Amino acid sequence: MSTTFQIDTATSRANPTPTPMRRLTIPAIRQRKKDGVTAEPVVMLTAYTARQAQLLDAHCDLLLVGDSLGQVIYGLPSSLPVTLDMMVAHGAAVVRGSWHSAVIVDLPFGTYEASPQQAFETAARVLRETGCAGVKLEGGAAMAETVAFLSQRGIPVMGHIGLTPQAVNQLGGYGARGRSEAEAEKILGDARALDKAGAFGIVIEGVVEPLAVAITQAVACPTIGIGGSAQCDGQVLVTEDMLGMFERVPRFVKRYADVAGLISEAAAHYAAEVRDRSFPGIEQTYQPKA
């Protein structure tokens, strides 16, 4: 898969011209897992902007517009203050910037928990205004009725269990879940309930590895690990974490680059050239025509 590029002279930015092919669908993702086995793991990364989506799209099956944008983009202390307007704006940008991956948008805290009807109204707005393929919501058995309500009305839903950031105040922090037998049984029950309710996939975050493996074996839909196990049916990371944009790296993250270092180095080089007046040079300025 490849993307050709053309120059938009109105903005002087490279915009992708999609190659002729269909965007991945939710049924296609769901069908990756057959008889409990996923031969080709599902690749998922977060994206918040059109340009980021352009760069990630050809390499991913799913792009997640996560409410982690609260911390990553807006510098908020958690995902709790993220609004529906934020998710819609960034979701639409990611859909515009992609052509291959199925785009999933998080439902933010307080916009879906009250009732299945509230969740439907929120999810319907997200699909209508972004063009995304589906939504993701946090919670296990307590949200099964809502997942079924949405699924039966044509809205694909991805579940999210284990360490659920929107419940950080109740959980008491971001530590790994499922260490006790009782908690592990509850999380396993959550996964089964979401699977039975019609979730097309389940994110398993921050649980002990044996539990992640047990959940993957227990449900028919694909599991997406983040701090789970390589035996999950797919993996997701916050792209900025994977790229090394932040000093702190969670245990479950592998840094694949030091983009923060590259940005800092480039900015320092630019600043030095501005101060010694070597930039802009003749190549970057407009000269009188002869």
To the question of whether residue 258 is assigned a binding role by annotation, the answer is no
Residue 50 CA: distances (Å) to CA of 24, 118, 125, 142: 18, 28, 20, 34
DSSP state of 259: H
Select which of 145, 183, 185, 205 is catalytic. Answer: 205
Q: Let me know: does 119 contact 43? Beta carbons within 8 Å.
A: no
205 is catalytic: yes
To the question of whether residue 68 is assigned a binding role by annotation, the answer is yes
User: Three-state SS string across 88-151, please?
Assistant: HHHHHHHHHHCCCCEEEEECCCCCCCCCHHHHHHHHHHHHHHHCCCEEECCECHHHHHHHHHHH
Render pLDDT for 16-44 as a digit per residue (tens, 0 to 9).
555 555 899 999 999 999 999 999 999 99
To the question of whether residue 136 is assigned a binding role by annotation, the answer is yes
To the question of whether residue 106 is assigned a binding role by annotation, the answer is yes
Residue type, 84: L
Domains and CATH numbers, the chain: 4-258 (3.20.20.60)
C-alpha 193/C-alpha 43 separation (Å) is 24
Render pLDDT for 57-114 as a digit per residue (tens, 0 to 9).
999 999 999 999 999 999 999 999 999 999 999 999 999 999 999 999 999 999 999 9
Q: Let me know: does 19 contact 190? Beta carbons within 8 Å.
A: no
Report pTM: 0.92
pLDDT of residue 170: 73
C-alpha 35/C-alpha 1 separation (Å) is 28
**How many C-beta neighbours within 10 Å does residue 8 have?**
10
Residues of the chain with pLDDT under 70: 1-21, 167-169, 171-174
Q: For the packed helices 84-97 and 116-130, what is the interaxial angle rounded to 10 degrees? A: 40
Please state whether beta strands 201-205 and 157-162 pair in parallel, antiparallel, or not at all (unpaired).
parallel
